[in-house]
Structure 1
Amino acid sequence: MQNNCNRPDVAYAGFWVRLAAYCIDSVIVFAGLLVVRLFLSGITAVVEGTAFGGNVLFHYTLKDIILYVFHVLYFILCTYLTGTTLGKRAMNLRVVSADWGQRLSLLDVVYRETVGRFLCSLSIGIGYIIVGFDGEKRGIHDMLCDTRVIYAKKIKVFPVYQMPKGYPGPQGYGAAPGQMPPMGGPTPAPGSPVPGNPVPGQMPPTAGPKPAQEETKNNLPEDK
């Protein structure tokens, strides 16, 4: 289940990274729905015994419908307004239209996050599993709405150059592992004098050694 990009400048997101993003979104939605449940607990107590207290749509109660609407609104609003969700943003993913450069339409996003996800969840989630085998990493909801999930930003990877085997290491060169030794010969040990530089406390050397002065005899006449 690796990315198989037909375009060199686009990297499609595979199955596992999309599953990780969905798990993050599920945790966020679950935490948000806890607040909604506390709010609905007061409403259900008021409508109990009325027409809204039982099943409203098939076997779904009013509470179930409201919770589903808030659940879907998170994915619809985030995808339509920003092209991503908090979970996808954490995994560096983005939902785009197959028509490159075109913004996602609200109708496509609503259809993708409602009918499309419902069809994907049928038959043990086969609509999601085919993401790992499709050439453009599409699920059924992507095929229906003509969307793609791609990596938002490409991460540049710089190669690390290693020293070839048998190349002299830091001994005698003063170079750290993986670095080229300095040019011009071995690096002197710390504290040792460098040729051409004076030692602290000594006079700098002159241009050359002075020739020894020969002793000259006194040319004065000897006393007789």
Structure 2
Amino acid sequence: MDCGQCGKQNPPEARFCIQCGAPLAAGVGSDDGPPEARAAYGGFWVRVGAYLLDAVIIGVPQIVAQALISPETLAARGPDDPVPPGEAAWFLVNVVVAWLYWAGMHSSQYQATLGKMVFGLRVVDFQGERISFLRATGRHFATILSGLILMIGYIMVAFTKRRQALHDLIAQTLVVRKEWVR
């Protein structure tokens, strides 16, 4: 099937163009065709809601565990106070836990974190299929870049045709509403 936007030849089962990510036309009489409108993609505010829910789901247990195991790392301190010895270790633990949560959930059979599941979203490749753990890892760490440039990488969701953030563009992924995923 040729892409109507860039002309790239795609496999017959592809739901999105492998070159540009544009939705491909559904077959005649097909009820499960690819999304044709922006409404099929996860918009800015629904993605913000999903992220905030995920932040609570992952953040509260991390803070509780840190408070129980080494509360000195959570205490407020002045600029001249020494850094508690376990603080760097907790930073590393939090980074690894977040990475395993987001990349693991996005590459799982659910194709979504718990927050995205609640809001009816899925992360897919341009064919509408589940992404690999490696791609999900790249997408996760690309979110750092999305945030570094004054959050513009995230704000792009509101203005791009397929509602992609910078990290989606980098990882070649889409966030779609659940009803558009097989």
CA shift, 1:112, in A, is: 0.6
More off after superposition, 13-22 vs 63-72: 63-72
The answer to whether residue 155 in structure 2 is matched with residue 107 in structure 1 is no
Match of 1:20 among 43, 46, 49: 49
Q: Which residue in 1 is equivalent to 2:85?
A: 53
Q: Which residue in 1 is equivalent to 2:111?
A: 83
Amino acid at match of 1:100: G
Moved over 3 A (4+): 5-9
Deviations 1:160-187, CA, capped at 9 Å, x for gaps: xxxxxxxxxxxxxxxxxxxxxxxxxxxx
Q: Which residue in 2 is equivalent to 1:126?
A: 152
Structure 1, unmatched stretches of 5+, are: 45-51, 55-59, 155-224
CA shift, 1:6, in A, is: 4.7
Structure 2, unmatched stretches of 5+, are: 1-21, 25-32, 74-83
Secondary structure, aligned partner of 1:84:
coil
CA shift, 1:12, in A, is: 0.8
Amino acid at match of 1:83: Q
Secondary structure, aligned partner of 1:78:
helix
When the two structures are aligned, how many residues end up with a matched partner?
A: 136
Among all aligned residue pairs of Structure 1 and Structure 2, give the percentage whose two residues are the same amino acid: 32
Tell me, in whole angstroms, the C-alpha distance in 2 between the residues paired with 1:40 and 1:64. 14
Are the equivalent residues in 2 in contact too, given 1:53–1:61 (CA < 8 A)? yes
The answer to whether residue 94 in structure 2 is matched with residue 94 in structure 1 is no
Larger helix percent: 2
Tell me, in whole angstroms, the C-alpha distance in 2 between the residues paired with 1:138 and 1:84. 15
Amino acid at match of 1:19: V
Map 1:201-220 onto structure 2 (within 5 A): none
Secondary structure, aligned partner of 2:164:
coil
Q: 1:34 to 1:99 in 2, by over 3 A?
A: same
Are the equivalent residues in 2 in contact too, given 1:40–1:63 (CA < 8 A)? no
CA shift, 1:80, in A, is: 1.3
Q: Which residue in 1 is equivalent to 2:28?
A: none
Secondary structure, aligned partner of 1:131:
helix
CA shift, 1:9, in A, is: 3.5
Amino acid at match of 1:68: V
TM-score normalised over the length of structure 2: 0.67
Match of 1:67 among 81, 94, 107: 94
Identify the structure with bigger relative contact order (alpha carbons < 8 Å, sequence gap 6+). 2
Tell me, in whole angstroms, the C-alpha distance in 2 between the residues paired with 1:137 and 1:87. 18
RMSD: 2.4
Deviations 1:22-60, CA, capped at 9 Å, x for gaps: 11111111112123314541898xxxxxxx937xxxxx7
CA shift, 1:65, in A, is: 1.0
Tell me, in whole angstroms, the C-alpha distance in 2 between the residues paired with 1:18 and 1:121. 15
Deviations 1:136-166, CA, capped at 9 Å, x for gaps: 1111110111100000026xxxxxxxxxxxx
Tell me, in whole angstroms, the C-alpha distance in 1 between the residues paired with 2:70 and 2:178. 40
